[in-house]
């Protein structure tokens, strides 16, 4: 059994404008030592999925209306807030996008790290301080011991994210959820953070969920990838399969829309844009949610009437579409051209 098994998770927001189906039937599992990348554009439900796992969705307006989140054999959606608190931080930890606002500007870095350690381990002040220094060293902050007494404004963005990671790993969590951990950072700083996460995952034998909008970041860091669109997973496979043999028209379109760093003659070519924009999640389309933007939806069939199921098109490769690439005529040329 996998460390984390999410099954048919539905998180809806009950607002004045109606019920927003932010996460609508999401299932996946994460194994110890592996990284699952969840990729999608804004509003696709990737962050709400993460917050639902952590039990951190704002209630009201949001509520998990059905589904289960089984972590190490226990369904987190059924636990009391008290028991959840014990799991958060010690078993499952999370880091967020914005290292500028996740730290309290009025407390020293040392205080903020020891707070978490003492909450979960009941160490003395001195022991906690030593542990904090060790943690800063582990995330490669130079002069760790001296820097415990600095306030967050003395740290750069990348260094603050390292502090957040130090806090996250302080209790040896078994699952780390990283929600856009490098989005606010420059690429060169991002590279350092991704290297660090990879190193820690191996050393601590953690499972990781990496949430990002950046296809490059997933390609670098994830073993498996789930592509989300309009509150649902539309494709799920190994990283190599997703990038080399994408099946869902949305995944293909997303990859096609990316400008390429390493290819010739890009200057005079137009990018393959995806027309339109994602559907309104108050009244999501009753059939395929991507149909309105899909170039294959006119192949005369069920796209606009029957919601496609997430099905296994080959071992380990799931897709939610009536027209996956390998079932379309002449698909090989298309893939070859990329």
Partner 1 sequence: MSSTPLLVCEGLKKHFPVRKGLLVERTRDWVRAVDDVSFEVHEGETLGLVGESGSGKSTTGYCVIRLLDLTAGKIWFNGREISGLRGEQLRQLRREMQIVFQDPYASLNPRMTVGDIVAEPLVVHDIGTRRSRQATVRQLLDVVGFDPSYVNRYPHEFSGGQRQRIGIARALALNPRLIICDEPVSALDVSIQAQILNLLKDLQRDFALSYLFIAHDLAVVRTMSDRIAVMNRGKIVEMGLAHDVYENPQDEYTKALLAAVPVPDPVRMRERKVERRRLRHALAEPI
219 sits near partner 1 (criterion: CB under 8 A): yes
Which of 277, 311, 314, 332 is in the footprint of partner 1 by CB under 8 A? 277
Q: Is 282 in the site for partner 1 (CB under 8 A)?
A: no
Interaction between residue 186 and partner 1 (CB under 8 A)? yes
- CA atoms in the 13 A half-sphere facing the CB of 79: 21
Which residue in the set 110, 158, 308, 324 belongs to the binding site for partner 1 (CB under 8 A)? 158
* Least distance CB 314 / partner 1 (angstroms): 18
| Residue 202 binds to partner 1 (criterion: CB under 8 A) | no
Q: Is 192 in the site for partner 1 (CB under 8 A)?
A: yes
The contacts of residue 308 (CB under 8 Å, 6+ apart) are: 287, 288, 302, 320, 321, 322
Which of 73, 54, 57 has the alpha carbon at shortest distance from 65?
57
Q: How many CB atoms lie within 10 A of CB 258?
A: 12
- Does 337 sit near partner 1 (CB under 8 A)? no
Q: Is 153 in the site for partner 1 (CB under 8 A)?
A: no
Q: Does 142 bind partner 1 (CB under 8 A)?
A: yes
Q: Do 210 and 40 meet the contact criterion of CB atoms below 8 Å apart?
A: no
The yes or no reply on residue 41 touching partner 1 (CB under 8 A) is: yes
Q: How many CB atoms lie within 10 A of CB 62?
A: 20
Query: Who's near 86: CB < 8 A, 6+ residues apart?
Result: none
Contact 294, 248 (CB under 8 A): no
User: Can you say whether the dihedral through the CA atoms of 311, 244, 47, 132 is positive or negative?
Assistant: positive
Residue span binding partner 1 (CB under 8 A) among the ranges 7-15, 88-96, 173-181, 250-258? 250-258
Is residue 305 a contact residue for partner 1 (CB under 8 A)?
A: no
Say how far apart CA 16 and CA 58 lie, in whole Å: 15
165 versus 274: smaller Cβ distance to partner 1 = 274
CA distance 137 to 127: 16
Identify which range of 11-19, 57-65, 129-137, 218-226 contacts partner 1 by CB under 8 A. 218-226
CA distances from 202 to 35, 57, 89, 119, 206 (A): 10, 29, 19, 26, 7
CB closer to partner 1, 126 vs 264: 264
* Residue nearer to partner 1 on the CB measure, 191 or 310: 191
- For residues 150 and 107, the answer to whether their CB atoms sit within 8 Å is no
Stretch that binds partner 1, among 2-10, 256-264, 296-304, 307-315 (CB under 8 A): 256-264
Give the interface size with partner 1 as a residue count (CB under 8 A): 48
Which two three-digit tokens encode residue 272?
Answer: 């393959």
Closest approach of Cβ 76 to partner 1, in Å? 30
Can you give the binding site for partner 1, defined by CB under 8 A?
A: 41-42, 142, 155-156, 158-159, 186-192, 194-195, 213-220, 239-240, 243-244, 253-255, 257-262, 264, 266-267, 269-275, 277
């Amino acid at each position: 059994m996998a460390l984390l098994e999410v099954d048919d998770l539905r998180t809806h927001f009950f607002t004045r404008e109606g019920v927003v189906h932010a996460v609508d039937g999401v299932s996946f599992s994460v194994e110890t030592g592996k990284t699952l990348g969840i990729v999608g554009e804004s509003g696709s439900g990737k962050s709400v999925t993460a917050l639902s796992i952590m039990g951190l969705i704002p209630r009201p307006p949001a509520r998990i209306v059905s589904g289960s989140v089984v972590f190490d054999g226990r369904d987190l959606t059924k636990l009391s807030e008290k028991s959840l608190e014990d799991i958060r931080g010690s078993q499952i930890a999370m880091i967020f996008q914005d290292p500028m606002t996740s730290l309290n500007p009025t407390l020293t870095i040392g205080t903020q790290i020891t707070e978490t350690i003492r909450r979960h381990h009941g160490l003395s002040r001195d022991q906690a301080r030593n542990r904090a220094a060790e943690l800063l060293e582990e995330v490669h902050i130079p002069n760790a011991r001296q820097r415990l007494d600095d306030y967050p404004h003395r740290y750069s963005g990348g260094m603050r994210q390292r502090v957040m990671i130090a806090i996250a790993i302080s209790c040896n969590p078994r699952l780390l959820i990283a929600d856009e951990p490098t989005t606010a950072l420059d690429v060169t700083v991002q590279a350092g953070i991704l290297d660090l996460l990879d190193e820690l995952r191996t050393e601590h034998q953690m499972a990781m969920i990496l949430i990002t909008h950046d296809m490059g970041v997933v390609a670098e860091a994830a073993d498996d990838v789930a592509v989300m669109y309009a509150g649902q997973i539309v494709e799920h496979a190994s990283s190599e399969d997703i990038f080399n043999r994408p099946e869902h028209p949305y995944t293909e379109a997303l990859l096609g829309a990316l400008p390429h760093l390493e290819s010739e003659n890009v200057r005079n070519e137009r990018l393959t844009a995806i027309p339109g924009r994602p559907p309104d999640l108050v009244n999501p389309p009753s059939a395929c949610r991507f149909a309105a933007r899909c170039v294959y939806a006119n192949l005369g069939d069920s796209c606009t009437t029957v919601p496609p199921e997430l099905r296994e098109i080959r071992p380990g490769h799931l897709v939610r579409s009536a027209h996956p690439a390998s079932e379309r005529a002449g698909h090989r040329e298309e893939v070859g051209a990329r």
